[in-house]
């Protein structure tokens, strides 16, 4: 019997899009979701993929989509909480980012979990980031949201044990997607910002995940699908550029790691 997979945040150009294709190729029935269905149009021809509009920041929409899938399929075997947004904005944008990156995980998981718990089976996959473990300058709101996603995943892993529902936290490093491009189109440093002298550093940080050593989105999707559909999915996995470095930094004194991040992404401009 094929696995029923619900994936959030599946607009073309992101990792959600490639995960839809990969899981479908492996025989899963995939429900691909995004706020704008038109941004997933190139998934139309893929086998075993059904497109649905879903705004993960709206409670009623989340419940409606989950109940529709369960009514049609009888279950949801795998939930992949991938929806979110990058942020290089002022702190004032924190509400929008936390809603998309953190509250969405709680919102969608809360809608799906009762169905998994009833069947004593299921897997919830949350997409975090290595910067949720070691932060860098210039992306504090985004990094705080990913740190919260990691903590929620750890708690969810414990609290789902009575229902035999598993949790997998994916903590990617640099993956080649359109995430930086999307963030750049929304980014604007105010003229009176005290950090105008660091604009080049901020832009450098914005595009760090899209370097030549970054993993392709297709390779990422293959790795995730292999672990998710394997006999014993782990709780944690990491991959992509800088992931090995960040894993080492986690073992070193915290302030040493933070000082390194500052030197790497905030070299003071020459006078």
**Angle at the Cα of 165 from the Cα atoms of 160 and 52, rounded to 5 degrees:** 110
**Residue 198 annotated as catalytic:** no
200 CB burial (10 A radius; 0-12, 13-18, 19+): exposed
Q: For residue 212, give every residue at least 6 positions away whose Cβ sits within 8 Å of its Cβ, in sequence order, or none.
A: none
Given 31, 142, 166, 198, the catalytic residue: 142
Yes or no: say if 143 and 104 are a contact pair by the CB < 8 Å rule. Answer: no
CA distances for 131 relative to 17, 38, 134, 139, 247, angstroms: 22, 30, 5, 9, 11
Closest listed residue to residue 89, CA positions, set 174, 186, 172: 186
Given 29, 146, 166, 176, the catalytic residue: 146
**Residue 176 annotated as catalytic:** no
Token pair of 188, please?
């604007």
In whole angstroms, what is the distance from residue 75 CA to residue 112 CA? 9
Yes or no: say if 127 and 10 are a contact pair by the CB < 8 Å rule. Answer: no
H or E element in which residue 201 lies: helix 199-206
Give the catalytic positions in this structure: 142, 146
């Amino acid at each position: 019997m094929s696995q029923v997979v619900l994936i959030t945040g599946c607009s073309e150009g992101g990792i959600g899009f490639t995960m839809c294709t990969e899981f479908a190729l492996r025989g899963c029935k995939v429900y691909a979701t995004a706020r704008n269905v038109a941004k997933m149009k190139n998934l139309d021809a893929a086998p075993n993929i059904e497109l649905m509009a879903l705004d993960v920041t709206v409670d009623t929409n989340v419940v409606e989509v989950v109940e529709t899938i369960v009514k049609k399929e009888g279950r949801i075997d795998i939930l992949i909480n991938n929806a979110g947004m990058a942020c290089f904005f002022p702190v004032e944008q924190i509400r929008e980012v936390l809603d998309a990156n953190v509250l969405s995980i709680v919102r969608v998981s809360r809608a799906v979990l009762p169905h998994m718990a009833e069947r004593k089976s299921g897997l919830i996959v949350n997409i975090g980031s290595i910067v949720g473990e070691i932060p860098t300058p210039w992306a504090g709101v985004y990094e705080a949201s990913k740190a919260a996603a990691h903590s929620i995943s750890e708690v969810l892993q414990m609290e789902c044990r009575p229902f035999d529902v598993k949790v997998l936290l994916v903590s990617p490093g640099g993956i080649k997607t359109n995430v930086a491009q999307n963030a750049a189109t929304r980014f604007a440093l105010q003229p009176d910002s005290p950090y105008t002298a660091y604009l080049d550093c901020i832009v450098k940080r914005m595009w760090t995940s899209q370097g030549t050593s970054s993993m392709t989105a297709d390779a990422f999707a293959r790795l995730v699908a292999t672990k998710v559909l394997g006999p014993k999915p782990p709780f944690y996995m990491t991959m992509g550029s800088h992931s090995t470095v960040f894993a080492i930094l986690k073992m070193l004194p915290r302030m040493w790691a933070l000082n390194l991040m500052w030197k790497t992404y905030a070299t003071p401009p020459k006078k």
